[in-house]
Structure 1
């Protein structure tokens, strides 16, 4: 028996590029083999519970536009109704994974103990629905940014009682993720930063954040959780400045606190743009250090200048992201989570399914283009040729030399090196052949 929320819809199937059916896959064929693995195994799609079911359609200038049968989201009966609809959607999309924050899936209790009990109850309800379905939890996390208690941060809060409350909250969410067989656990520090340095002891806050993350790792090992611990970079919004600014900042933070072997990154396209980077850049930074854990796929509106969390629609951008992912060996335990939401004018349940179908198709096209470029080898050959001078014995030896010796050699040989073209436009044209 279904809820009737998605009335008239049947599970989306692959119909091919010539199909005009808006509720069918045109490019995502989960069983299609790409570089020795199925698309399903490569992409590991996940649905974000918060945007798809908990978000009510508000924005900074207006209230909710969505009217769902589980609104208001303030009791366990409606939380279970929301879960019933969510799993119907997972079935319609044949999605292999989903993700949640605690606040998405259970209403806030009057006490932390009540909130934890509700989290246990709803995750037990999830697990019963997961039986017999081909779906798993990609990751769980704690929302420590929405409630007013978190206005000055969680692990970086100047009040030690808030640090303690955050620790208890995260423990409950790791426990729930572990119970559900989650592949990862994510920490996003939406309020781990500052509004003004006039009232901020940055060094102390960073030390507390580093100790908190070490506690998370210690607890992971204590309970035998096999998932990855991930942190998610974002430069600002909601805080003026967040300590997890971008991939490079996070990697430096992890090294400072001895966590580089324990924690990886969950990277989001929209957050990359807010940091002044491309998603391709952030993925390349993470993969260069072996720190890529998982990705949140979405896009920003480049005219708005803020985090709009739209579904992806740019194949060239997506293709270059998967190019670096494939070169690094794939997503492993991570996946492609659609941290994306409908526009507040897209009111119908059918819009929610169509948006995910479109995003999955865009990712499938990007994956196939990336695989084709790797197989062809054009970009790799261009890189090899550009750096081939460093393969010479003298060049390798120079890296073990010193400035004085190098200078003497340059003068003795009368070196007058001339620049070589980077051939950027030719390489951009190359990529265009595949997308």
Structure 2
């Protein structure tokens, strides 16, 4: 099986190579990039001057199965992923029941093997994500389980977090934490600040995140272990990570599109569709997150894709569920709010969405267009401007804060190991 995507701009963030020509994929691998046409291809795709990039990798998604299939399933989540150009995703364990033992993870992996994108999984740090009894990480010592986290809830007890870091190092698992001090999360409605005061809400102070970030950085430094910090949202958190990296602490960190694109003011017009944990922050925090991505303090973009059915969001901000979908808007949000603002180059954006997450997960065959690596590829049109319409999403849920917003950059096609798994058939606006 040989596929050619012809007449494209090619960008490989690992090598910095950028040119025009034809990408060749054969037997599930990248065969090379050439200026000459090859006549024996099974499939020829006209690229028409678009960009071909390494498939995106998301280290943080919630696909809700088992227990929350009305919100999202592995199948619908995988379709949303490839529609957004993501060829590999990492699923979080806060399902019902939670992914806190080896057998349930094996079941998930078996289901995922039949679906369009590659799915990897994180196991829970504690039984039932209850924050009390730590799981023996021996249970996760098999391919497809790449890390541990209690995401959705923080690991509040320092002893448990220290043990997790040490055992994660022993078993080669990425140890990630949702950094918020639960004693300071209060009503979990939104950021504590001028907007929460206007709306008469208590809100969640930035300090709730920053205290936990500081603790985890200290534990990582003291133990010599690696830690991954999830969905960083405040300026002080970015600075703490920047300093820790300068001091040699082994830390990686992610930022979500909503935190680099929106501020707390979005809650006033978007309501519960702009409610997530951690919440949208001040403009100064949003700018700091952008700067953190630009200088490498924040390593990658992760969507924290968190689908909810309409009833779970409702109209009451206090009672509404936290979380927003993000797979199908992430790339365009990056182009619009990072490239178009002069914060990142295209190469930097692709690094944050492809090569760097691959490195964090130890996926040497992913996140690159080098010859011989897996043919996980996305074709994007940087010229296309479009308006977000969640009714067209492949996801089962439509809880996006970007509804009705104009964005630039759109995924046109996605290939996983050389097989086309998504084609955008919507005409340009």
TM range (shorter): 0.3 to 0.5
The answer to which structure has the higher strand fraction is: 2
TM-score between both structures, scaled by the size of structure 1: 0.44
User: TM-score w.r.t. structure 2 length?
Assistant: 0.44
More helix by share: 1
**Looking at both structures, which has the greater relative contact order when contacts are Cα pairs under 8 Å and sequence separation is at least 6?**
2
